[in-house]
Amino acid sequence: MPKTLALKPETDKTMMHQRFILRAGVLAGIVLIGSTTMAQLSVAPQTNLQQLAEAISGPGVRITNPLINCHGQGYGEFNYSGSLLGLESGVVLSSGRITEAIGPNDVENKTFQQGTSGNSLLNTVTGRSTRDACLFEFDIIPSGDSLSFQFVFGSEEYNEWVGSQFNDVFGFFISGPGIVGDPGIGADKNIALVPGTTDPVAINSVNAGMNSAYYQYNAGGQEMQMDGYTTGLVARSVVEPCQTYHLKLIVADASDRKFDSWVFVERIQSPNVSLSTRTVNGTINMVEGCNPGWIRFTRDPVASGPLTLSYFLQGTATNGTDYTAIGNVNPSVAKSITIPAGQAYAEQFVNPGADAIAEPTEYLRILLGNPNCPGFVIDSINFAINDTLIASVSPAATQTICHGSGAQFNIQGGLVYAAEPPV
């Protein structure tokens, strides 16, 4: 079906774009004169679907079973070093080519017809027949009680086709425990919505005249090709911790295959707690008798209430023997720590004692349980203890060594040895 506006013939659209292209060219020249530096948007194909999934796996989530249904040039990874997009890296999907998202915006009708089918979910969302759909779907397991991710939708349909049937669209559809599907599409719920509404984000719902706080016109833009794009949008969903959900990310042309669109998705995340370690003198490892350390439990985001965590201390270092006892010394019994209200982290002090026994490096293995899901390990880390640096020498008595002769010394402890005067 040829693209028309209010039943006007295709030639009207072509003439309109000639006028817009001239205007964009003048604006591009002005921008080039005013600025000599450009931020960098780069895209790259990624056929390894697990790596593509890892590109949007953020804190507190695990992604499995990734699948793609898209033209080979319509999906991949992106990196961005500027300030306009509001994202740094992730996955990009397109109804055309991902490579054509890169600026400057030197045409207003960038088109690559993939020749692929549309998507039934997006047909329902937009009320139109879609084409050139690009779908990336996977299972996702959140550690917390919500999922969220930032995204940007950009299109060549802006601004001249706003309000028409050429309402290029995308959607992020979640299904799983506790999710009630949208009317007409079964178990899937679209979470790519205009903030404070149930309206899906599309050309006709976010533009210069509607929800303009979330829209940026890009005439003459040097960093990206699309004529306009969304800004400041976040997809969110309430979920049950540690349950498996299914997520579909889809973008498509509506009513025809012309004027491409792109959607950029940053890392998906869920409320998370992570482990880290530090020592008194800043080294990686603790040392018996002189360099204790701390285990740090950090939550993200910070919450107004306290958070009590359970963890286990295992490894080759023995609780209560190689370091001062922490809780019940039985490695099979959980210890607990509470992050105070309004605080980001809490720390557990670890004090390894000098036992005067020559032994190899030992370590604590800390296993952090998920406070939302009993039996799940949310993070783990090893914390090593080096043997004492206090050296003992035997025999201790003064030895007389004549030129050409020698003496035997046994040294325990320490790391580096030197004789004085040099021998």
Q: Does domain 272-386 have CATH number 2.60.40.2030?
A: yes
Peptide bond into 340 cis (omega under 30): no
293 burial type by CB count under 10 A (0-12 exposed, 13-18 middle, 19+ buried): buried
Provide long-range contacts, Cβ within 8 A and 24+ apart, for 321-325: 321/355, 322/288, 322/352, 322/353, 322/355, 322/362, 322/385, 323/350, 323/351, 323/352, 323/353, 323/364, 323/385, 324/350, 324/351, 324/353
Q: Residue 410 CA to chain centroid, in angstroms?
A: 54
Per-residue pLDDT of 2-27, as tens digits, reads 443 333 333 333 333 433 333 333 33
Residues of the chain with CATH 2.60.40.2030: 272-386
Decide the pairing of beta strands 373-386 and 286-287.
parallel
Query: pLDDT tens per residue, the chain (423 residues)?
Result: 444 333 333 333 333 343 333 333 333 333 333 332 345 899 999 999 999 999 999 989 999 999 999 999 999 999 999 888 899 999 999 988 999 999 888 887 777 677 676 778 888 877 777 888 899 999 999 999 999 999 999 988 888 767 666 567 788 999 999 999 999 889 999 999 999 999 888 888 899 999 999 999 988 888 888 889 999 999 999 999 999 999 999 998 876 666 888 999 999 999 999 999 999 999 999 999 989 999 999 998 898 999 999 999 999 999 999 999 999 999 999 999 999 999 999 999 999 998 878 888 999 999 999 888 877 888 999 999 998 766 667 776 566 666 666 667 676 655 566 666 655
Specify whether the CB–CB gap between 274 and 371 falls below 8 A.
Answer: no
Count the helix, strand and coil residues of the chain and give each as a percent rounded to the nearest 5: 10, 40, 50
**390/364 Cα distance (integer angstroms):** 22
Tokens 């959980």: give the residue: 334
The C-alpha atoms of residue 169 and residue 6 are separated, in whole angstroms, by 19
Distances (CA, A) of 10 to 17, 129, 189: 11, 19, 36
What is the pTM (predicted TM-score) of this model? 0.74
Indicate left, alpha or beta for 126 from its phi (over 0: left) and psi (-120 to 50: alpha). alpha
Listed in sequence order, the residues at least 6 apart from 74 whose beta carbon sits closer than 8 Å to its beta carbon are: 93, 94, 95, 96, 97, 98, 114, 116, 132, 134
